[in-house]
Amino acid sequence: MRLPDWLAHRAATAGERLAIIAGDVRWTFQELDRRAASLARRMVGLGVRPGDRVALLLPNGPEFVELAHGVGRAGGILVPLNTRLAPPELAWQLGHAAPRAFVYAPQTEPAARAALARWAQEGQTGGEAASSEVAVLSTEELASAPEAADASLRPFVELEAVHSILYTSGTTGRPKGALLTYGNYWWSAVGSALNLGLCAGDRWLANLPLFHVGGLSILVRGVIYGMTAVVHPRFDPQAANRAIDEEGVTLLSVVATTLARMLDARGERPYPPSLRAVLVGGGPVPVALLERAARLGMPVVQTYGLTEAASQVTTLPPGQALRKLGSAGRPLLPTEVRIERDGRPAGPGEVGEILVRGPTVSPGYFREAPVAAAGRDGAGQDAASLSARRDGGWLRTGDLGYLDEEGYLYVVDRRDDLIVSGGENVYPAEVEAALLAHPAIQEAGVVGIPHPEWGQVPVAAVRLRAGWGLTAEELLAHCAGRLARYKVPKEVRIVQAPLPRNAAGKLLRSRLREQWLEAGAGGGGRGQEVSPGEP
């Protein structure tokens, strides 16, 4: 099924309305449409053809926004890379995505260069070898690239087509590229509007990273709704509060840690009634924090979302926020949620794995199809073949929760091994793999422990090979070259005893976490070396 291009439609129906506010930049829908079309013609000039991937390594800002819309207009698939990643991580994702073009900004140029060098050096990494066919250019170079005069841009959006590939940390230690279609975003936007409403003058603050689904989906909703997106370069609690007071922001998305920082910066001043809803996602939220927000008149609604479901899966209906405090709400209208425990449906109140089905659910991960046709049509092929791999259309999230008698979801815990740190997902397996790359390390176990500011932080217990010596500092330096900073363990303990494992040799991370917490904080914080004999 196809729809008229969303942005072009809004340029025609609300051309004078502001599409983007980003610092001093103010673009109407007409202006954004013109810029997206121009960028799309440049993309075509660079050799981007329908189905080609275009990778971005850009901070939040207007350049990201116009590219996010321009890539699709040229028929390309957007691959926004996480600017916090270390060069080896970026190199792997570039190799896996095999983009036709790669765009960086002045701020990200060093990381981009280092990643490209690493990709070239490693050759075939996750996917394809570094190739001279990749157009690598800065946003400035892109701005002066010639437009392809004969470019025929797509006037329609095909709901089945892949819009973007978003890499998420993988449970197996390697990232996975979640394919999100135009339809996934469309249904997510429709479901969200039917829950939160859609008012003239709505402005959604995008101060989470635009390379994550939480930020990117605001840009897409903006053009579907004809709504202004207010883009901040990064999360800043004062700026967020000011945007609500002075920039007319009516909606925003936060995680528990950023919500707490906004309230800390706020003091006792109530929020204005123009603030319609504040979505809090990214894992369980302390009820005390929700109550604190409510006292300042902030209309908080908790939400449960996933990259693989184009953001919101369940969200509290605004009118139910206080009655159902602590719940992540009901499934948005197009989506179904069920809880499964030991392979059978769980009853009301019974905790089990959260399963999700519906039109917002990704068709699969890029290159995970058994045999995907190589080359330009790869993305589409993968999408089709992967959709059959899910369980009757149900996506197994691995997260734990329950539904109450009225069908409201309560998220009890993200999947056992997932660490959510300041809104970023950290998979222990990935950090363990980086640790095990050091020749001195025989065993490594990574778990999340509570942290007052970031919710959770990763910590590591490692056992050395006989005859090797290594300080925790050396180990952290080893990690820093391989992992994004938020993934680097905030504390490392070197242990003598083997790590707890089950009979099959599987690491028992919950047991490891218990041991860690029982032993108590080591005192020295980051990089502390624990004396032999401790857990």
Residues that bind a second copy (CB under 8 A): 1, 3-4, 6, 9, 12-14, 16-17, 190, 193-195, 197-200, 224-226, 317-320, 330-331, 333-334, 336, 359, 406-407
| Least spacing, CB of residue 404 vs a second copy, in Å | 11
DSSP label at residue 134 = S
| Least spacing, CB of residue 407 vs a second copy, in Å | 6
| Least spacing, CB of residue 157 vs a second copy, in Å | 10
Residue closer to a second copy (CB basis): 355 or 459: 355
Residue closer to a second copy (CB basis): 19 or 256: 19
CA distances from 205 to 212, 328, 356 (A): 14, 21, 27
Residue closer to a second copy (CB basis): 200 or 504: 200
| Per-residue b or e along 247-269, where b marks 16 or more CB atoms closer than 10 Å to that residue's CB | ebbbbbbbbbbbbbbbbeebeee
Rounded to whole angstroms, the Cα distance separating 202 from 247 reads 11
Residue closer to a second copy (CB basis): 357 or 482: 357
Which residue's entry shows tokens 């959604």?
204
Of 263, 416, 407, whose CA–CA distance to 328 is shortest? 407
Residue closer to a second copy (CB basis): 12 or 521: 12
| Least spacing, CB of residue 34 vs a second copy, in Å | 14
- The partner residues of 254 in beta bridges, in order of sequence, read 280
CB atoms within 10 A of CB 371: 7
Rounded to whole angstroms, the Cα distance separating 263 from 290 reads 10
Please state whether beta strands 2-4 and 156-158 pair in parallel, antiparallel, or not at all (unpaired): antiparallel
Cβ–Cβ under 8 Å, residues 365 and 307: no
| Least spacing, CB of residue 315 vs a second copy, in Å | 10
| Least spacing, CB of residue 314 vs a second copy, in Å | 11
Residue closer to a second copy (CB basis): 28 or 307: 28
Q: How far is CA 508 from the centre of its chain?
A: 27
Q: What angle do CA 493, 498, 504 make, to 5 degrees?
A: 130
| Least spacing, CB of residue 35 vs a second copy, in Å | 19
| Least spacing, CB of residue 219 vs a second copy, in Å | 16
Element (H, E) at 511: helix 509-519
Residue closer to a second copy (CB basis): 183 or 215: 183
| Least spacing, CB of residue 466 vs a second copy, in Å | 60
Cβ–Cβ under 8 Å, residues 99 and 79: yes
Of 412, 366, 453, 458, whose CA–CA distance to 52 is shortest? 366
| Least spacing, CB of residue 233 vs a second copy, in Å | 30
| Least spacing, CB of residue 316 vs a second copy, in Å | 9
Q: What angle do CA 105, 111, 114 make, to 5 degrees?
A: 130
Residue closer to a second copy (CB basis): 222 or 489: 222
Residue 110 exposed, middle or buried by CB count within 10 Å (0-12, 13-18, 19+): exposed
C-alpha atoms less than 13 angstroms from C-alpha of 328 in its C-beta half-sphere: 31
DSSP label at residue 107 = G
Residue closer to a second copy (CB basis): 156 or 468: 156
Q: How far is CA 213 from the centre of its chain?
A: 5
Residue closer to a second copy (CB basis): 139 or 192: 192
CB atoms within 10 A of CB 148: 18
| Least spacing, CB of residue 159 vs a second copy, in Å | 10
Residue closer to a second copy (CB basis): 319 or 524: 319
Rounded to whole angstroms, the Cα distance separating 92 from 83 reads 14
Residue closer to a second copy (CB basis): 111 or 227: 227
DSSP labels, 26-89: EEEHHHHHHHHHHHHHHHHHTT--TT-EEEEE--SSHHHHHHHHHHHHTT-EEEEPPTTS-HHH
